[in-house]
Chains A and B, each alone.
Chain A
Amino acid sequence: MFPSAPRANGPSTGGPTAPSCDEAKLVQATLAGDRQSFTAIVQSHSRRVYNFLYQLTRHCQDAEDLTQQTFIKAYHHLARFDLQRPLINWLLTIARNAALNHFRSARKWTEIPLDAAGSEPSPASTAESRDRAANLWDRARAVLSPREFEVLWLRFAEDLSTEETAQVAGLTQTHVKVLVYRARQALLKGEDRI
């Protein structure tokens, strides 16, 4: 099940979400040297960061490596974190930049299926594959451009607001709205642009 940390405002529609007070305390405690506070941060957000990176890379090991990089960078630059913003937005921004650097350094990468280790697909993996084929995100990946997919993921899977999506993706809010509109239209029409 996709993890989702409790959001202050629930599913967002427009404005940014309010930062969690507990998060700010955890960050401040980490900066003061409390190791357990950062452990709590990792435990709260690692799955969301991993899932986002997995959607970008479609590669389990790369997603895990990049998740590690993301949290290590976050740990070393925690003093730069703006306590007025939700921590997950900052982590996703770091993760996105790490993924972009990864793509630049590795010109070509191959997708490793999740069940690549086994020769015979298990009933569970067969059922999972069937579910995945029916998953709207798999169709979105086939139909949309990478940027449209990324924005759609941030907007609806991560439940970020338009403003937050723009911040993480490094785009303007208008650009995000246009990309979401195009992506929605493409999915509704079932266009295949590959």
Chain B
Amino acid sequence: MLGKADENALGSRHVASCADCQRFFAAATGLEAALRRDARQNPFAPAGLDERILREIDRSAQPVRPRHVRPAMLAIAGAAAAAAVAFGLWQKTNSSVPEENGAAGHGAVVVRDEPTTSQPWTALKPSVDALMRQDPLRTEVDSVYADARSAVHFLALNFLPAPAVPSHDGKTSPGNPAAGG
């Protein structure tokens, strides 16, 4: 298989011996030179164009500098991300979320009996306990654990449906999320 250098050499040898190719390349080269030459015959820019451009720019503001993200925005974004992660973790592991049950029929909502907050944190507790035994990290882990628990409580309180309220016909119905306690 020929390399690029070999192809170029082969092409050059062909052009050197081919009258048609020589004519073509001579015409193409001449055309490009004529295009460059004729481009210089185009009209001047109108007189005073630079001044008008600069006058228009003077009417506008200073050039925009690169934007810097404010520390407060970073803190808010970080807090939102932490809340989203906590909520996702809770949603993934918690089984008390009401779900449609086909066996119950007629769209009835069945709520499981497990407590809202115990399951995910009991699963995490051994590792947390192990960490807390290490004295230098004890305070830090304790605070992080407390923060996470309070965040989950807060999210569960505000965004999850309240425990189902039995209706008169014996079916259960979801409570008012806003009134959940």
Contact = CB atoms under 8 A, between A and B. Distances in A.
Given A11-B36, A67-B53, A188 B28 contact: yes
A60 B45 CA distance: 9
**Which range holds the interface residue count of chain B?**
20 to 34
B35 A136 contact: yes
Contacts of B38: 135-137
A157 B36 contact: yes
B32 interface: yes
B35 A60 contact: no
Nearest to B58: A35
Given A76-B60, A79-B64, A156 B40 contact: no
Nearest to B62: A33
Contact of B39 (A30, A39, A46, A157): A157
Nearest to B63: A78
Interface in A53-110: 54-55, 60, 64, 67-68, 71-72, 75-79
B169 interface: no
A47 interface: yes
Contacts, number: 104
Contacts of B34: 136
B100 to A, nearest CB: 50
Interface string B19-46: 0000000011001101110111111111
Given A54-B43, A76-B63, A152-B35, A46 B28 contact: no
Interface in B47-63: 49-50, 52-54, 56-57, 60-63
Nearest to B30: A188
Interface of B: 27-28, 31-32, 34-36, 38-46, 49-50, 52-54, 56-57, 60-66
22 contacts: A2-B39, A4-B40, A42-B53, A46-B49, A46-B50, A47-B44, A47-B45, A47-B49, A51-B42, A51-B45, A67-B53, A71-B57, A75-B57, A76-B60, A77-B64, A136-B31, A136-B34, A137-B38, A137-B42, A156-B35, A184-B31, A184-B32
